[in-house]
Amino acid sequence: MRILLVEDDDRVAGGVAAALSAAGYVVDRVGDGETAWFQGSTESYSAVVLDLGLPGLDGLSVLKRWRQEGCLFPVLILTARGNWNERVEGIDAGADDYLPKPFQMEELLARLRAIVRRTTGSASSQLEIGPLHLDTRQMRVSLDGEPVHLSPQEYRLVSYLMQHAGRVVSQQELTEQLYAQDFERESNAVEVMVGRVRRKLGSSIIETRRGFGYIIQKPPS
């Protein structure tokens, strides 16, 4: 999943970006409000980690613009501002959660997982579809109870499709979610990756809808 990190403090941004990458996310990092607003308005993100005290356009104004434009991605506000009325203002502006500095990185990751789960309709960090099991906290995948060794990119692919099970996901959407903005990739990179994953999970787990994209079907209820 692709995350937009908006933080002007290089030390904080570096630590958060490293933790997000280690947790399996693709991270785009920006340090000012105007760039953040443009990125969020024009790129596809699964979630945003947003600081309020930004140079130029402040974080609260950025968030309000996004919501006015219909941007629905979940937003976790991350800021040194700790008084309760600013928290209320942020939530009312459309934030999904609020984490004041200083914070523990594990809490940030847990809160981020939670708001992404709510967006995709999942109540748990454990996803099961037939014989396929995915633990979003430990970043582990198993098939019929046996661990499956996936590369970070392969894990992101399976995780995204499982969290959007029952919906056809286009190749363009997968490309946007699996690769950072500045990453050089081949035009058939997603197709090649799906082929590798099928060899590990079996050919029936990920279906191809010609001209539309890929889908992992939900099991019948």
The first and second tokens of residue 35, run together, are 């760039």
Q: Between 1.10.10.10, 1.20.1440.230, 3.30.2350.10, 1.10.3720.10, what CATH number should domain 126-215 receive?
A: 1.10.10.10
Q: Distance between CA 109 and CA 118 in Å, rounded?
A: 14
Domain ranges of the chain: 2-120, 126-215
pLDDT tens sequence for the chain (221 residues): 899 999 999 999 999 999 999 988 999 999 999 999 999 999 889 999 999 889 989 999 999 999 999 998 999 998 776 667 777 888 888 899 999 888 999 999 999 998 988 877 666 778 888 899 999 888 899 999 999 999 988 998 999 999 888 999 999 888 888 877 666 666 688 899 999 999 999 988 999 998 899 999 987 66
Q: Distance between CA 31 and CA 17 in Å, rounded?
A: 12
0.85 exceeded by pTM: no
The first and second tokens of residue 97, run together, are 């959660």
Q: Give the helix ranges, DSSP H, for 69-151.
A: 84-92, 105-120
Q: Distance between CA 9 and CA 17 in Å, rounded?
A: 12
pLDDT of amino acid 122: 67
Q: Distance between CA 187 and CA 25 in Å, rounded?
A: 21
CATH number, domain 2-120: 3.40.50.2300
